[in-house]
Structure 1
Amino acid sequence: MAIKVLMPALSPTMSEGVINKWLVNVGDTVSAGDILAEIETDKATMEVEAVDEGEITHLIDTTPDKQIAVNSVIALINGSKDERLEDYNDKDQTVSSEEKNEVSETPKVNTEVDNSQIIERSKDSNTKQNTNFASPFVKKFSKDNNIDLTLIKGSGPDGRIIKKDIQNFELHINDENISVIEPSSIRKIIAERTTQTKNEVPHFYLTIETRMDKLINLRKKINSNSNIKISFNDLIVKACAMAIAKNPETNISWVNGKIHQYKNIDIAIAVALKEGLITPIVKEADTKGLAEISTEIKSLVKKANQNKLLPEEYSGGSITISNLGMFGITEFQAIINPPQSSIIAIGSIIEKPVVNSGSIEIGHTMKSTISADHRSLDGAVAAKLLKDFSDILEDPFQIWLNSMDMEVI
């Protein structure tokens, strides 16, 4: 009996994946645990292992950037020769018999005909042929976008117009200064997810300004007495975890119409990659000291840039920290990362005149903006979380008391 190898779901949000390359060939003998392929997901590049031993008999086509649905059969071990992968999967893109050109008998015609009628009939025939010889996706897309299929040359079987052809079709682009770039699979997924999130998740935004002078001084003292250098982001992650501990009702996610309440406080951090974004998780951040958090974040960022994060290292959490302060951005609004309920956008620390006890002095401030999902969080609840977060940063001795793995003096 054939052993099916499926496209794995490597994260809760993954619906499709791309096979970067097969590491085996048809006819190879494999054992359980052998690496079969590299899979590119919306988060990272992962490896797929054989679940049993046997001979590789079938491998799915690895067309570049071909999106394959989760749980689709991508390979067979010990399959019979008369089996086909298509028999296991949906046939959304296969050619149906109804879509093939209909061949009819040539009617008898008079020997004398009008040339204009011949030209007109030929044009109608070509239009019908191009329209019929296209996949359902192409027909719908061309109709929705008012694209003339007779202008497109198909690259599929027997000249069939397929999805790739219409995606590559450049309509009304004559400027030589414009080059059309095919986005990577990760970029496509990010585009799809962010659009879906903004359309489906009711965002609301709250901003608070925080005095950062005491935190700046604390960081200087810590770094002058430790081999582990603490970043502002390390302190922010710790402060966020402590604020959530004070507001456990915010440690939630909206999943399939229900609210999931979490016991552990896991904080995601947004990491920019060359081709996109990923959010590795600092697990149980409220229980860890600054040194441990700093070391863990450095390790996660390094693995993220090497595409070596494991699914459990970027899945979960109820909130994300997105910090663009290093670029001089004073404030911004971030898009929530579903199924999480919130994300805090961190701006830069700026020096400016501030009022202190009726007097004006030079101080350092930072703006933080929380984007919250109104399905699971109300304004007052999110406001209290943000206020507690700000208060902890303004009184950072609380952070040090919860981080006894670091010495201040």
Structure 2
Amino acid sequence: MAAEVIMPRLSDTMEEGRIIKWLKKVGDPVKEGELLLEVETDKADIEVEAFDTGILIEITAEEGETIKVGEKIGLIGSKEEAKGIRKPAAPAEEAHPAKPERPPRAEKAEEEEKPEESAAVEEILEEEAKAEAPEKEKAKRATEEEKRKREEEQRRKKEERKEEERYRREEEERRKEYAEEARRRAEELKEKPRRPEPAVSIHMDQRTAIDKFVARRAPGKATVSPLARELAQKHDIDLSQITGTGPGGEIVKRDIEQAVSAKAKAGPAAKIEVLRKAREVRATPLAVVLAEREGVDLEEVRGTGIDGRIRETDVKAYVARRCNERGEEFQELSLMRKTIARRMTLSKQTIPHFYLNMTIDMDAAVELRKKLNEGKKDEEKISYNDLIVKASALALEEVPEVNSTFVEEKVRVNKRINVGIATATPDGLVVPVIMDANRKSAADIAREARDKAERARKRKLRPDEYSNATFTVSNLGMFGIDHFTAIIDPGQSAILAVGALAQEPVVVDGQVRPKNLMRVTLSCDHRVVDGYVGTQFLIKLRELLEKPETLHAKS
């Protein structure tokens, strides 16, 4: 039975992948473990191996398509299952057309008489066939394109007709409703003539406070009866738009009732107005609605519909051109950018962050780095970030709560200390991971970090090289950033943001001295890490960096 080839999950954050290139064609034999295709993930470009042996009998996702994880992209089957398939046609330059059949005797005679001439003719025929092949292929593609356009145009016309018919039916129904409503109201007026409202009676032989009967109001502001105000709030009526018909211009119940009735009719009336405008400017109703929403004058829009009719797509194209004229441009998100957006939003929505800041004296670390890098080539030197990664790993040994993860009402304590290093690439942020960083020397970390950073920028990391981090270091100090706060990657409980190392004047024993200072900020998940625990981690980190003799050794 044929086995499906599915889009594999190549990282813990991957939700979809884009097919870069198929390394096998339909009809090619495939062995288990053999490279089958290249896939672009949110982190890297990865070669995918086949999980089955057989014949590639179907490719359901072409190069350039983006497919969800777990969805089918191809099919591998047996030789029997592959019998009915056709291999893709060979490129035109490699194609060899079949030779015209001729009677064997005539062929033999020709070969005996003029073998050189026969060979020349065959060569000419082959050359002509090669020259004609691209033209035939081009004509075939043009025919298919014309057919597709015709089908698309027919489908579009059908949709437009359906849309117009729907609006016509709605317009007719609304007109019937209006006529029925008018008839009903006329009948009510005949049956129930309006009675005048009773006047307020004031007895002249008693002293009565006039405020009981006349509502005070600010100049230019109408008063509102309590019942009218309650009714207006219930139906979301803007009182500033209502003209009162009560005593002294007061807004009374009947004014609100009339406003509610008018509001109810506004929806159908608006649709009728849309249809009227659509007929006037030869546009579809959807195009009219979109134009009003975007503030577009339909007189400036060129229609591509039947007889130049303006469609919704025409208005959208006009808006896009207008944006371009304003210097705006809309770009599709890469898979990496989509993943960053999704995970950072998830982090801020689900992880209660709090932040701890600390300033560290880096004088001793500066001297140690100079000593370790003496006589070394640039590509072999240890950076300050390598020392910070090593110090962070040792601090996590002392404060394991920071190396933990909140998982479904439980806390998972990670036994391995895997430190991710945030790395900028042209497509976005990638976090290569130094596995078991606490057991490696600063020199080992430097070599591994440099290699993985270079391959990350080329999208050549393997999934295991950017997965399973338990803690992350994000360093923007080399760009002159003094201090910042970082967002915790979901699945971790903390991230260390490292600022620039700079000389600053510090008072020591009553004297001002220059010191190499560095500011760090620890972002913590408050579900796992409390303020005291986070502080203990930073204190240990500071101790290790201010007395860094142990950082260059393996644990």
- Superposition TM-score, scaled by structure 1 size: 0.76
**Equivalent of 1:212 in 341, 362, 365:** 362
Alpha-carbon offset, residue 255 of structure 1:
3.5
1:185 aligns with 2:335: yes
Aligned residue among 463, 469, 473 for 1:311: 463
Corresponding position of 1:346 = 498
CA contact (8 A) 1:344 1:369 kept: yes
In structure 1, the residue corresponding to 2:320 is in which secondary structure? Answer: coil
- Is the contact made by 2:278 and 2:288 (CA closer than 8 Å) also made in structure 1? no
- For 2:519 and 2:317, the matched residues in 1 are separated by 42
Q: What residue identity is the alignment partner of 1:33?
A: G
What letter is aligned with 2:402? Answer: T
The 8 Å contact of residues 318 and 340 in structure 1, kept in 2 or not, is answered as yes
Aligned to 1:332: 484
State how 1:157-236 maps to structure 2 within 5 Å. 170=320, 173=323, 175-224=325-374, 228-236=380-388
Check conservation: 2:346, 2:490, Cα contact below 8 A.
Answer: no
Contact 1:57 1:76 in 2 (8 A): yes
In structure 1, how many angstroms separate the alpha carbons of the residues matched to 2:318 and 2:525?
A: 37
Given that residues 278 and 284 in structure 2 are in contact (C-alpha distance below 8 angstroms), is that contact kept between their aligned partners in structure 1?
no
Give the structure, 1 or 2, with the largest relative contact order (CA under 8 Å, sep 6 or more).
1
Match of 1:288 among 420, 436, 440: 440
Tell me the CA shift for residue 304 of structure 1: 1.3
Please state how far the C-alpha of 1:242 moved relative to its aligned partner: 0.8
Superposition pairs of residues 6-405 of structure 1, within 5 angstroms:
6-62=6-62, 64=64, 66-78=65-77, 126-127=284-285, 170=320, 173=323, 175-224=325-374, 228-400=380-552, 402-403=553-554
Q: Distance in 1 between matches of 2:551 and 2:467?
A: 26
- C-alpha distance after superposition, 1:212-253 (max 9, x if no partner): 111101111111266642111111111001110111121112
SS of the residue corresponding to residue 224 of structure 1 reads coil
Deviations 1:136-167 (A, max 9, x none): xxxxxx9xxx789x99999xxxxx999xx989
Query: Bigger shift: 172-181 or 321-330?
Result: 172-181
Q: Which residue of 2 aligns with 1:95?
A: none
Q: Secondary structure at the match of 1:180?
A: coil
For 2:358 and 2:316, the matched residues in 1 are separated by 47
Q: Deviations over 1:313-363 (max 9, x none)?
A: 110122111111111111111111121111111111111101223322111
Q: Provide, for residues 149-201 of structure 1, a one-character-per-residue CA deviation record: whole Å limited to 9, x for no partner.
A: x99999xxxxx999xx9899738625343333333222222223222322222
Classify the secondary structure of the residue corresponding to 1:47.
Answer: strand
The 8 Å contact of residues 336 and 371 in structure 1, kept in 2 or not, is answered as: yes
How far apart are the structure 2 equivalents of 1:172 and 1:258?
Answer: 53
- In structure 2, the partner of 1:137 is none
More strand by share: 1
The structure in which a higher percent of residues are helix is: 2
Cα distance in 2, alignment partners of residues 21 and 31 from structure 1? 18
| Equivalent-residue separation in structure 2 for 1:368 and 1:316 (angstroms) | 24
Q: Is the 8 A contact 1:42 1:189 kept in 2?
A: yes
Q: State the TM-score, normalizing by the size of structure 2.
A: 0.57
Whichever residue aligns with residue 37 of structure 1, its letter is: L
Deviates more, 1:185-194 or 1:314-323: 185-194
> Residue 192 of structure 1: SS of its match in structure 2?
helix
Question: For 2:356, what is the secondary structure of its paired residue?
Answer: strand
> Which AA in structure 1 matches 2:29?
T
Change (3 A) 1:344 1:55: same
Contact 2:390 2:442 in 1 (8 A): yes
